Amino acid sequence: MKLLIANRGEIALRIQKTARRMSIPVVAVYSYHDRDAQHVLQAGEAVLLPGENLSETYLNIEAILAAAKKTGATAIHPGYGFLSENPLFSEACEREGIAFIGPSAASVRAMGNKIAAREVAVNLGVPVTTGVTGEPDYLLANYDKVGFPMLIKAAAGGGGKGMRIVRTPGELEQALENTSREALNYFGDGTVYIEHFIEGPRHIEIQVLGDKHGNMVHLFERECSAQRRHQKIIEEAPSPALTPEVRKKMGESAVLLASSIDYYSAGTIEFLVDKDLNYYFLEMNTRIQVEHPVTEMTTGVDLVEEQIRIANGEKLRFKQSDLVQKGHAIECRIYAEDPFNNFMPSPGKIYLYREPAGQHIRVDSMEIKGKGMIHSAFDPMIGKLITRGETREDARSLMIHGHSNQYPFPERTGTARFVYPQRHHHPVHRRRTRKSDRTCEKAEGFGRSADSPAGRIAGEP
């Protein structure tokens, strides 16, 4: 196998590390902005994607396939984002005789539309929130079946985009129009639906892994309830809230859902969990997740390696009974954002860079060497700091120590001034929920660390 990684930054480097350990030659692709990036410099070969914008580079299926054929790559790993959940990409790979390290196009399509995915769950008896689908006029005439508060969601949505909470009938019509327009702009599909909004939910997801021989397992859960603007910022495993009984049921539901669409590779079934620990299917992500390291650190399974083996036709090397969770892991995403300006993206130069390191500390990042540049063309998430401990408190304490003692954060990207993250000593069991338009904004166990300033880290997976 010769592997082309159709991505950039920290996930490209993460995949490279596993490929090197498996003695698999790696090909990188890059845009002009990334010509000096570490994912380019550390690859055995690298191919420039001509063009200026994303549609011409990292979203250009033909250009990426041309790079694979030019270098003799026999497999492509899409990482997350970009083309990772585009069924046209996996189909194009198949036509060219190139292995796509991910699920089939049919599985991606089955779960890519949230309305269709809900129907799959309903048919299997997996709980979903009360919802109504249809044209806007139908939704306006039948919203009383859902009740307030309700959530308007884009059928083709993801990444926290295309979502609005509505609390009164007077808001509904305008909210439907705005959400549909946003969905059309982001996803090319303005279809929306409404569902009952659960106040103060937990966002808990189950990692699944299946092969091409019909074997399917789950690797337990990740708690992703600490969010900002509907986007995850802190994740942990295991969830501090689930009982063994609920954990088992959620795992079984996830395996049932994934098996029903003949899924193979790594995937994630996402659920909302209410205060009584009732759970409801939310969506499936048919790719490796940003937060996969907390699962790896608590199960000992390299998910990228398993993806590669599955794409190569191998059977899973373990059964459900072989898998156990050990210890506790926490991940904090690191963003190039301005904490003094509503956490807006903050591109520019990095003048000082120092990473935390030590036992049970893992850093997945872009691995800036010396000075670096954050470009406005890309997502502001530039790295992840992950810590592991025997207990949740051990992992949390190590995270705080790694943040505050190992390196400073830029106060403003592009300046020489720095600010250190503040510690907040709220009890770790206290829930801090803000009443706003955020689906699940609570950083339980972290006080205000969910809104800490963004910084720059790098390291080994």
Q: Write out the catalytic residue numbers.
A: 287
Q: Cα 377 from chain centroid? A: 19
* CB-count burial class (<10 Å; 0-12, 13-18, 19+) for 238: buried
User: What span, in angstroms and rounded, lies between the C-alpha atoms of 259 and 80?
Assistant: 22
**419, two tokens:** 């600010």
**231, two tokens:** 């986007």
**358, two tokens:** 């030590």
**280, two tokens:** 């409801």
Bridge partners of 377, per DSSP, are none
Bridge partners of 344, per DSSP, are 338
User: What span, in angstroms and rounded, lies between the C-alpha atoms of 244 and 332?
Assistant: 25
User: What span, in angstroms and rounded, lies between the C-alpha atoms of 224 and 233?
Assistant: 8
293 prior amide bond cis, ω within 30: no
User: What span, in angstroms and rounded, lies between the C-alpha atoms of 383 and 455?
Assistant: 9
User: What is the DSSP code string of 359-424?
Assistant: TTEEEEE----SSEEE-TTS-SEEEEEEEEESSHHHHHHHHHHHHHHH-PEESSTTSS-EEPPPP-
The pairing of strands 150-158 and 161-166 is antiparallel
- Whether the CA torsion 344, 345, 347, 350 is positive or negative: it is positive
